Amino acid sequence: MQSLLRKTPFYLKERYVDHAGYMRQALAEAEKAYALGEVPIGAVVVLDGEIIGRGHNLREVLKDSTAHAEILALREAAGKIGDWRLNGATLYSTIEPCPMCAGALVQFRVKTLVYGAADPKAGAVDSVIDVVRQPRFNHQVEVVAGVLEEECRQIIQRFFQALRGKKADGEMAELVEGARLEIE
């Protein structure tokens, strides 16, 4: 990878982005959520090649319906740079954002969204509705979909298979009682 960058002309280096590498960081955040019994979604915010925000679902742990991975990563990033405007930033999410998180991308002025797996039941970018590219809004977000899609889908499937197993055994965990997201 580094040898490729050394051979790349200077005017193209700024355009080269390791989407898979950053998505692996988001997947690491999703694993943290999984370990807590949360729906395993992870997100990172990248600005100028540096991760400035990380988040994983904490909705059940914090008893906060807004504690989605994307929201937490955006809040951390804004705190780190001291501005709510994340101009030029890219958010990586293991799953297509819900309406709330997609709206937050617009509000935080995120330049690009990169997501792994689509969410056919609640996705607010490509699947159900498109919140981030509304021409009437004062900001639109560029979208790259399907990065490490299979890995992102697998962690969600693994979580819900385990959850169904607990239901079958009558051992429903309190932390995941309200979980509804499923990727077929």
The string of pLDDT tens digits covering residues 6-38 is 444 444 444 568 999 999 999 999 999 999 999
Tell me how far apart the alpha carbons of residues 173 and 170 are, in angstroms, rounded to a whole number: 9
Residue 113 domain-assigned (yes or no): yes
Cβ proximity of 69 and 55 under 8 Å: yes
The DSSP code for 174 is: G
- Tens of pLDDT, residue by residue over 35-92, are 999 999 999 999 999 999 999 999 999 999 999 999 999 999 999 999 999 999 999 9
In a domain, 160, yes or no: yes
In a domain, 126, yes or no: yes
Q: Is residue 64 part of a domain?
A: yes
The domain total for the chain is: 1
For residues 51-88, one letter each, b for 16 or more C-beta atoms within 10 angstroms of the residue's C-beta and e for the rest, the string is: bbbbbbbbbbeeeeeebbbbbbbbbbbbeeeeeeebee
Task: Tell me if 9 is assigned to some domain.
Answer: no
Of all residues in the chain, what percent carry a pLDDT higher than 90? 79
In a domain, 4, yes or no: no
pLDDT for 177 equals 43
pLDDT for residue 183: 47
Question: Which pLDDT band holds residue 180 (cuts at 50, 70, 90)?
Answer: very low
**Domain span including residue 38:** 14-172
In which residue are the tokens 């509705």 written? 129
For the entire predicted model, the pTM comes to 0.84
Active site residue 29: no
Give the active site residue among 29, 38, 60, 70: 70
- Flag whether 1 is in a domain: no
Whether pLDDT at 2 is above 50:
no
- pLDDT of res. 163: 86
Q: Does 65 map to a domain?
A: yes
Structure tokens at 87: 């101009």
Give the domain CATH number at 153.
3.40.140.10
